[in-house]
Amino acid sequence: MSSFEVLNYRIKSKSPLFVGMKLPICRRRRIGLLLVVPLLVILFHFNTVTELYRQDLFYKREGKMSRKSDHLILGPAAGQGLSDRIQCQGTRALNKAHMNTTVANSINKVSFVTVFTFYNDTSPPILLPLLSSSSDRVSVANASYDKKERSLAILGAFIDFIQVSMPKSEVLILSDPSSKFPLKRENVFVIPIQGDYSRDRLMLQRIKSYIFFLERRYEEHQERSNDMGLNHYIFTDSDIAIVDDLEPIFQEYPDFDLALTFRNNKKQPLNSGIIAVRGTLDSILKAKVFLESVLEVYTSRYIKASRMLGDQLALAWFVKSHLSLDDATIFKNTSPFSNEINGATVLFLPCLIYNWTPPEGSGQFHGMPLDVKVVHFKGSRKRLMLEAWHFFNSTSKHIPNMLCLILMSGRTKYDF
């Protein structure tokens, strides 16, 4: 029996549902069970509560929540004992259900599209989202980086993860034509697009670049036969790690034109860090029109919003104003749903699986879902992205183990 099975067995034998299913017919034993079942229910919950309590104690004792760490810190893994969450023993994953979702022999292709620009002056390159400004050199594993090198390292890790999880995919980097950065990688292409990439305008420029890109693709695809397969596009921030194949989204949900990720957050229910677009002519066109509408909302309503948030606020405003579902409840869902938004079929995917962020701070959280596909290293978590890649590349090259490392480290605030 492997340790995974042992653990699984332990969870199952504690689970009230499991016991309930095995209720024997014998009356005396049934009475006995009537007492045992609630006890088991209590024990089961007690276990998860103490687990959470222990984590909180750990972080209180560390007392480091406000200080930012310049090295990897591992705490306890959250979600232990929950059967739909990754179970870890140290940085060893005990279950790994999610690792086999590749579409066999697909003739279609998925390209990732991100915006990155490098300034010729002394200011650091722009990485989306913007890095907080700490000026010193930092070290990750054996490498040391200044600000520019750090951003390039994150872009490099972004590409590395894609090449591991979706080796057939291309990475397309939309960039200011005047910015030159050293990047020679296979299956990675820099696409210069004119625009105003200055810091204050960057999120605005990003939508504009996406729209321009889709426009050009629309023209190109018109001359292309679908026999060659479709080329889907996923627009992303570059501080994310793709840890599983995303192509199955396009098969499992064959009707959407574009897909967004949602979460239960009243002010910002949508994250603009991932936008998937189906590679048919019709969907490319609809996605372009959709983004043009978001851009319009951005310029008319949110142009003064903090430079990081404008696009996200505009996206949520536009979607909410066309949603035929109750936005007060629908984003509390944990499963995907779709809705017609101004002529486009939009698929809403839960951030929990498709845009998972390690929670920071001392609040409770319930671990990492088994089938997580995208990890987003928002805010002061960029170091963790590089540390995670380093761990992956220098140990067994086992994604679930790396996910355990991310899970255990998720509450730490890092220096970049």
| Contacts with ligand NAG, residue ranges (CB under 6 A) | 100, 104, 141-142, 160, 393-394
Instruction: Name all contacts of 5-12 with Cβ < 8 Å and 24+ positions apart.
Output: 7/87, 7/94, 7/95, 8/83, 8/95, 11/81, 11/83, 12/83
> Which of residues 161 and 414 has its CB atom nearest to ligand NAG in the complex?
161
The amino acid sitting at 137 is: R
Place of tokens 């426009």: 215
Place of tokens 């700490």: 134
> Which of residues 21 and 104 has its CB atom nearest to ligand NAG in the complex?
104
The amino acid sitting at 17 is: L
**Shortest Cβ 360–ligand NAG spacing (Å):** 26
> Which of residues 160 and 292 has its CB atom nearest to ligand NAG in the complex?
160
Calpha distance 358→368 (Å, rounded): 8
Calpha distance 171→210 (Å, rounded): 14
**What Å distances lie between residue 112 and 123, 159, 233, CA to CA?**
26, 9, 6
**Shortest Cβ 163–ligand NAG spacing (Å):** 9
Largest CA distance in the chain: 82
**Burial code of 387-406, b = ≥16 C-beta within 10 A, e = fewer?**
bbbbbbeeeeebbbbbbbbb
**Shortest Cβ 99–ligand NAG spacing (Å):** 7
> Which of residues 72 and 258 has its CB atom nearest to ligand NAG in the complex?
72
> Which of residues 204 and 384 has its CB atom nearest to ligand NAG in the complex?
384
* Residue 212, H or E segment: helix 202-222
> Which of residues 74 and 99 has its CB atom nearest to ligand NAG in the complex?
99
Calpha distance 387→393 (Å, rounded): 10
**Shortest Cβ 291–ligand NAG spacing (Å):** 32
**Shortest Cβ 100–ligand NAG spacing (Å):** 4
Place of tokens 């509408």: 293
**Shortest Cβ 194–ligand NAG spacing (Å):** 32
> Which of residues 100 and 300 has its CB atom nearest to ligand NAG in the complex?
100
**Shortest Cβ 390–ligand NAG spacing (Å):** 7
